[in-house]
Chain A
Amino acid sequence: MATQGPIPEIDDPMIDPRTGEYAVIAPGHTFKSVTQKVAGIVLTDNTPLSWLGGLFLSATVAMGVVVAVTWLVLKGVGIWGITIPGAWGFAIINFVWWIGIGHAGTLISAILLLFKQTWRNSINRFAEAMTIFAVCCAAMFPLLHVGRPWLGYWLLPYPNSMNVWPQFRSPLAWDVFAVSTYATISIVFWYMGMIPDFGTLRDRAKSPLAKYVYGMLAVGWRGSTRHWIRYESASLLLAGLSTPLVLSVHTTISFDFAVAAMAGWHTTIFPPYFVAGAVYSGFAMVLTLAIPIRKFYHLEDLVTLRHLDNMAKVMLATGSIVGYGYGMEVFMSWYSASHWEYFMMWNRMFGPMGWAYWVLILTNLAIPLTTLWSRKLRVNAAYLFFLSFVVNIGMWFERFVIVVTSLYRDYLPSSWGTYRATKWDYMLFIGTWGLFSTLFLLFARFAPMIPMSELRTMLPQAKIGKGGEDAKAVVQEAI
């Protein structure tokens, strides 16, 4: 459906005249041209200099992780700003922020697949990659936060000489199961999706090394119809499994808060509101990645303004749910008639760290939810790129506000304190940005960033109709 706003330049070849919407794939593409376009990025002999520059920069920033973790292992978690009462601090804020970012990848690859939203095909691969790299960054924080990360395997249920087992009545133990399952299933789904494309790369590669590596990764895929049917069935099943999984993971993470009897945490709205926030920040991150990628690799034909428009619409919807969540929190803190809840909300808004709440309202609600209604801005790549940063800053502050304000002024005024992150907190957090972009750049260079086999199904040539009729005539003639 065309929206109310003015449709820009109707003679734009990217606009489908029947719907007034931007096309999902630019017209004129063939099976071969989409394959060449995507495979060419990976199989080129000339690594772009700017890619090398980007990798150098990212890897340098990622060194922050190495330094911060080394120092942490030598000195202990005391180098962080966590104290009593604010014992959670950056570690949990960053954990929730990163894992939330990952959720959009699963949403795109699983939920939109089930809803038959074929436009997702061009963006699902790198959204899934984003998920996995975000989970890598996220999982690091709780592991380091336990204090002795080298004993992290104690979290797993395994028979041991101490005869000690995990305690399943704690949401923190649920987290271990939720996040490890999420990471495993995301990797499986991502890799399985790439098998046919690795086959294409194997067949198109010139260098023996590339042939060998992609050949191994493709496990001998040859595009047999019976294989495809089982493969499609497995994809749908994995999508069906990932959908409740992604909802359960952020629900479980919200249980870390909601199960605790803290003012501002102990609410039933947390699971849906956390999931919506996760999808909101995740779509922002997909935009942060997609907009430079389509520009840099000239993929405007495959990642079109339609994709940006649709993603902006999802952000508008999830952002509104998040806004409703904020509203409900404020309402409930009044309606509950609980002195503690009331104080928590007052402290959150006007206490010493009240500025963080207003930054959150500005970046998460005021800027995006006023501007995203405009179609002109939704198809403006530069604006969306800017907005994606705004929203991710906002979502980080949301977690900051939730974690810090409830903890540092709890029920007992004599135990009130404050929270100040140290340089090691910042170094580790900024370092994870470097780690994330390093992993992403390596992925963009060495793996098929856009699923070629799924793009082929979206081309008009893939429809059996004309070709079939032609062939029928041939066969009839022969008989």
Chain B
Amino acid sequence: MPPREGVYGLLAEFNTPGELVQATKLAYGAGYRRMESYTPYPVEEAAEALHFHKTRVPLICLLGGLMGLTTGALLEIWINVWGYPLNLRAMPLFSWPAFVVPAYEWTILFAGLSTCFGMLALNGLPQLYHPLFNAPNFADGASTDKFFLCLEANDPRFDRIETRKLLERCSPVSIVEVQH
């Protein structure tokens, strides 16, 4: 668990995504790992600079889909074969072609819901409080037109003086010390 008081990290603000990516690469090269960048829209290069590639969202989607397919198919088979067997137009009780559509729909339903909620859960959302919201320039720009890099204090290399020096080499607009 990260410490809940004191310094959360150093937050550097940039005007362009390119500067952010370069600064991230520099910090990564200097050995920092506990860091995160914040952008007003998805920037793939920023993720590459953080060496963040894999997400488990597709796996969750697949598992959700398989669960929906199984649930839907078993539900239909149980109902129509055992739970409430009806002889309709002498169709077989296990008339699987007719079961395709609902099972298919539930595959999509379960997969879609697990994708959305799985994405939120992996992101740790909802999380209404975050130390970064304390930084005035973050609230002002992170969701509009500014690009931020935060080197977090729980990184073993973090040092208030040295880390600030490193960030200053990328000539950010500002560097703010963020408190928990």
Contacts and interface: CB of A to CB of B under 8 A. Distances in A.
Interface of A: 30-32, 35, 157, 163-169, 171, 173-174, 177-178, 180-181, 184-185, 188-189, 192, 196, 199-200, 202-204, 215-216, 219-234, 237-238, 241-242, 244-245, 248, 252, 255, 453-454, 456-457, 461-462, 464-472, 474-475, 478-479
B130 A225 contact: no
B102 A31 contact: no
Residue among B40, B46, B50, B80 with the most chain A CB within 10 A?
Answer: B40
Contacts of B126: 219-220
A152 to B, nearest CB: 17
Contact of B102 (A35, A173, A204, A465): A173
A188 B140 contact: no
B133 A222 contact: yes
B149 to A, nearest CB: 9
A224 B108 contact: no
A220 B130 contact: yes
Contacts of A222: 38, 130, 132-133, 138, 142-143
A184 B112 contact: yes
A157 B130 contact: no
A60 to B, nearest CB: 36
B39 A467 contact: no
Main secondary structure on chain B at its contact with chain A? helix
Interface string B131-153: 01100001110111100000000
Contact of A233 (B19, B26, B57, B72): B57
B55 A220 contact: no
A181 B106 contact: yes
A204 B112 CA distance: 31
B18 A468 contact: yes
Interface string B19-41: 10111011000000000111111
Nearest to B100: A174
A196 B38 CA distance: 12
A214 B46 CA distance: 27
A185 B102 contact: no
B38 A223 contact: yes
A372 B79 CA distance: 51
B173 interface: no
Interface stretch (B1-9, B116-124, B156-164): B116-124
A185 B108 contact: yes
A472 B22 contact: yes
A167 B125 contact: no
Contact of A462 (B41, B57, B61): B41
A229 B104 CA distance: 28
B45 interface: yes
Given A167-B86, A471-B19, A474-B22, A220 B111 contact: no
B18 A224 contact: no
Contact of A469 (B18, B125, B145): B18
Given A200-B144, A456-B41, A467-B17, A238 B112 contact: yes
